[in-house]
Chains A and B, each alone.
Chain A
Amino acid sequence: MAVDVLSPDARRSVDRLERVWREPSGLVGWLTTTDHKRIGILYFFTSLAFLGAGGVEALLIRTQLIGPDQDVVSPETFSQLMTMHGVTMIFLFVIPMSIGAFGNYLLPLMIGARDMAFPRLNAVSYWIYLAAGLFLYTGLFTGNGPDAGWFDYVPLASREFSPGPNIDFYALGLVFASVATTASAVNVIVTILRLRAPGMAINRMPLFCYAMLAANGALVFALPPLSAGLLLLELDRLLGMRFFDVAAGGDTLLWQHLFWIFGHPEVYIIVLPAFGIATSIIPTFARRRMVAFPLVALSELLVAFIGFGVWAHHMFAVGLPTVNAVYYAAASLVIVIPSAVQLFAWLTTLVTGTPRFATPLLWIVGFIVFFIVGGLSGIMFAAIPFDQQATDTYFVVAHFHFVIFGAAVFPLFGGMYYWFPKVTGRMYHEGVGKASFWLTFAGTAVTFFPMHVVGLLGMPRRNYTYPSGLGWGPYNLIESLGSYLLAAGLLLVMANLAVSRFRGAPAGNDPWGGDTLEWVTTSPPPAYNFAVTPTVSSAYAAWDTEDRERDARRLQRGERTLDGSHETQATSVLDGDPEEILHMPAGSWLPILVAVVLAAVFAMLLTQHFVVAGVFALGVAAVVAVWHLEEPEDPEPAFVLGERGKR
């Protein structure tokens, strides 16, 4: 909507939108906000803080392992650091950053909506996530951090071998966090299905939305097995039941199954949003449409689906029947196919386009390199005999760090650079951006590649130290030095963005010539995102100049501005036909209240005050009841009947 002078009609609509969508300024505004952009920013800084915490844990681990027989931290502390590093990076950093921050901020903009489908539920998700993160870290800071590894195998995690509250922090904290994740997953799915701009049929939806749809669809079904497992674990630990107690007839493998039915889809849930970011950045910088769009879209969905059928490849060494093991090995090979389809589509788009290697695309190239490295070692694990040799060694650590850090997190940094101008209205420093990429790229390779070798030499993962004379020392030294390089690279990213936030040159609406709708609106976008409801006729809406000029003409005539109250359009699931106008709720204190009372429930469960926990649970029900009494606000109803009726 590149209009310099607004007509009187347009001016009137924009003024009304400004007034209707304005939120209170200052702290109150942030605490009560339901604006998806502000919630996305809250998610961004919170998950960044957890990245810092998880990073410090990683550096402590690497410092402890820098040479043989070190005692930088005690064995108990090492176990807690190692566990919290995994829990933090997976539950408190990658998913909240990719789905919470990127998903929240970008999805409504990309589909031409004004907010998520359930704005207050969105706020609840954020506050519960924050409370759950603090809950888990309360454990670590009181010396009771979870210490049985991120997959928390029983019997190590049972009351008998872990009598303290450490594992209770883990189990209750993760159930707590998954309340938030489930709510946000439902929100994202309904937003994608129903809030798309008129004309954005499902086959004209940006690939980023497909990736988000796949990841969140998988979350809806992946979290329940985790919750079930954690429920049984806590029943064992708090009430003395016997689900995982072999002596009483229980079965420890049940925990492993339940955990990995969640855990393996989780890997794809982590990496799918990264695929989505890659498919956003590549067309923009290659200056061409994505190759094999339908195949890439289907592959994103297929990866999420097949991801549910491969979990037992984490359990090849525990004595599964051969038939089962072979099935999971085969399924693990099948999932390579949709992953490879996407990989070749990205590469072909780059090769047949005219790529400009600005910082965001560099991160995507780094992502592709590391995804190949981690993917190839992943295929090796599908071979059962190899897996049985290499399981629980540093080879596994090398594999999943290339996949999770190299493939899932690199696009997040690429995305931070790519959308930084949109979110802040300023440009980052390109030279420092490139330097930060190369530093991080080198740091990642130096940190994680030697782990392949040291793993094949037999070094087991998770041990707090190792003796000298086994030939592991030099590799570990290199890895530790690499981790400092990596940390320096990430600090440079943050420094670049932080300084550019205040000193960067003005970016304008669309510094890249981006292909999706977020580049059409101003930088940063107004609270109502778009003054005119955009009408879409392809998956590259920002490149359809005729459509955008028609939107601009409509704005000048004051048409399709939906400025009566918090309004946005709802369209049909498949065809994107307009169906109704939704009245969205304004800011509210209830979301943060729900999170606080729910935190009290979990704190009481942790301290085994079950009756008090029940009372607080009734409190949650009461807050939710009040919530339903309050209808979405209609701040200026006069427009609905009076002025608007006449137009």
Chain B
Amino acid sequence: MSGLPAAERAGIRRGANRALREPWSNGMWGMALFLASEAALFGVLIASYFYLRFDAERWPPAGVAEPRVLVPLLLLALLLATGVPMVLAAASARSGLRGATVRWLAVALGDRPLARGRARAPGGVPRARPPPLPR
């Protein structure tokens, strides 16, 4: 994003007590806060369900079936499981490993041929090494 000359002009140098990991970008901070707000919303809705379950005379009301949770829980487990290859894909992308990134993404999306390494990428695209990240 910023060329080094600009950074130098702004007097940017790495502080001695800088954290070892890469700092979160503004976008990460913003997204984390939005997700916190969303999590609070779902937390409150789930709490409302249990509030009615414990406090109300009869909940769910007559004529409404009990919620069936087996299939949603299985789907939730599947969703959470896809998080693992996504994290690995992100890690590969950060280390500049193009092939591994594509393969882990394919695993997450359930694309078996691509996951096994049979590239369907358009032919003739050179496997360019990504440029080194400015440090």
Contacts and interface: CB of A to CB of B under 8 A. Distances in A.
Interface of A: 117-118, 121, 182, 185-187, 189-190, 193-194, 198, 220-221, 223-225, 227-228, 231-232, 242-243, 245-246, 248-251, 253-254, 257-258, 261, 533, 535, 559-562, 564, 567, 569-570, 572-573, 575, 577-583, 640-641, 644-645, 647
B34 A578 contact: no
A94 B11 CA distance: 40
B9 interface: yes
A198 B7 CA distance: 13
A501 to B, nearest CB: 35
Contacts of A645: 3, 5
A225 to B, nearest CB: 5
Given A261-B44, A578-B12, A224 B61 contact: no
B133 interface: no
B109 interface: no
Nearest to B33: A186
A581 B1 contact: yes
Contact of A582 (B26, B33, B56, B57): B26
A484 B24 CA distance: 53
B37 interface: yes
Nearest to A253: B55
B30 to A, nearest CB: 5
B15 interface: yes
Contacts of A258: 44, 48
Given A224-B44, A261-B44, A193 B5 contact: no
Given A221-B37, A249-B57, A580 B7 contact: yes
Contact of B44 (A185, A187, A225, A535): A225
A572 B16 CA distance: 12
A579 B26 contact: no
A231 B18 CA distance: 44
Contacts, number: 146
B52 interface: yes
Closest 8 pairs (CB-CB, A-B): A577-B15, A224-B41, A249-B58, A224-B40, A578-B12, A581-B2, A248-B61, A228-B44
B85 to A, nearest CB: 24
Contacts of B40: 220-221, 224-225
18 contacts: A117-B26, A121-B30, A190-B30, A223-B37, A224-B40, A224-B43, A228-B45, A249-B52, A250-B61, A560-B9, A560-B10, A564-B6, A569-B12, A575-B15, A578-B12, A581-B10, A581-B12, A644-B9
Given A231-B45, A570-B26, A577-B18, 11 more contacts: A182-B37, A221-B40, A223-B37, A224-B40, A224-B44, A242-B61, A249-B62, A261-B44, A577-B15, A579-B23, A581-B12
B37 A224 contact: yes
B51 A572 contact: no
A248 B62 contact: yes
Interface in B56-87: 56-62
B118 interface: no
Contacts of A221: 36-37, 40
A640 to B, nearest CB: 6
B11 A186 contact: no
A547 to B, nearest CB: 13
Interface string B74-103: 000000000000000000000000000000
Nearest to B5: A645
Contact of B29 (A193, A231, A575, A579): A193
Contacts of A117: 26, 29-30
A575 B17 contact: yes
Given A261-B44, A570-B26, A644-B5, A198 B11 contact: yes
Contacts of B17: 575, 577
A186 B59 contact: no
A640 B18 contact: no
Contacts of A194: 26, 29
Nearest to B39: A224
B41 A227 contact: yes
A251 B37 contact: no
Contacts of B1: 580-583
Contacts of A578: 7, 10-13, 15
Contacts of B125: none
Contacts of B52: 243, 249-251, 254
Contacts of A232: 48
A606 to B, nearest CB: 21
Contact of A186 (B14, B34, B57): B34
Contacts of B58: 249
Which of A185, A251, A583 has the most chain B CB within a 10 Å cutoff? Answer: A251
B128 interface: no
Contacts of A559: 9, 11
Nearest to B54: A251
A50 to B, nearest CB: 24
A301 to B, nearest CB: 16
Nearest to A568: B10
Nearest to A645: B5
A189 B15 CA distance: 23
B59 A228 contact: no
Contacts of A257: 51
A186 B30 contact: yes
Nearest to B55: A251
A59 to B, nearest CB: 37
A572 B18 contact: yes
B9 A562 contact: yes
Contacts of B55: 251, 253-254
Nearest to B3: A640
A245 B63 CA distance: 15
Nearest to A117: B26
Contact of A249 (B9, B34, B56): B56
B19 interface: yes
A251 B15 contact: no
